[in-house]
Structure formats: structure tokens, C-alpha cells
């Protein structure tokens, strides 16, 4: 996932490109991508009020088929169970 790979602090080129197309942040795109079907519960960090606003903004992002295809290709689902790495 983008979060596990630390790609929100150093955004992946695809996250950046999709974010630019939507006038959004890479974090908003990552969050919009993981919550798109309603089958995932995301618990994003919000250490400051601006983070809460940014996280809320992800709900307004409408990802296109092109966006989803690019994100799915760049961040494929694991083939089996994979624990998150602790840092």
C-alpha cells in the first residue's frame, strides 16, 4: 500500500500525477483509492486540524477508471496475507 511504503512523504510518480489531475494532494488520492468501494475502513493519521481537513477532502475526490487502473497497476494487491512492517 502507499502508506506502508512511505509514499506519502515521498510521493510515487503515479500518486503525484493523479493528484495533479484532481487538484488534490497525494495523501488525498491514496485515501480516496483505498476507500473507493466501501469495503475498507481507513484510519488516517490526523495530528493537526489541517490533516483532518485534508483527510475529509479525500471523500470529494472522484477517481476515474484511468486513475484506478494506474493506481492498481502501481500498487498491486498482495498475493496472500502480508503483515505491515513496523518502523
d(CA 52, CA 3): 17
Q: Which residue has the cell 484511468?
A: 66
Q: Which whole number is the average pLDDT over 23-46? A: 90
pTM score, two decimals? 0.80
pLDDT of 6 over the 70 cut:
no
Q: How confident is the model at residue 41 (pLDDT cuts 50, 70, 90)?
A: confident
**What percent of the chain lies above the pLDDT cut of 90?**
57
d(CA 50, CA 36): 22
User: Cα dist. 44→27, 29, 63, 64 in Å?
Assistant: 9, 13, 19, 22
pLDDT of 75 over the 60 cut:
yes
Amino acid at each position: 500500500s502507499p502508506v506502508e511504503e512511505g509514499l506519502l512523504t515521498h510521493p510515487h510518480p503515479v500518486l503525484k500525477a493523479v493528484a495533479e489531475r484532481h487538484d488534490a494532494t497525494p495523501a488525498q488520492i491514496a485515501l480516496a483509492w483505498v476507500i473507493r468501494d466501501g469495503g475498507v475502513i481507513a484510519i488516517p493519521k490526523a495530528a493537526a486540524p489541517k490533516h483532518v481537513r485534508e483527510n475529509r477532502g479525500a471523500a470529494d475526490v472522484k477517481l476515474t477508471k484511468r486513475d484506478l487502473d494506474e493506481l492498481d497497476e502501481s500498487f498491486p494487491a498482495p498475493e496472500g496475507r502480508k503483515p505491515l512492517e513496523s518502523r
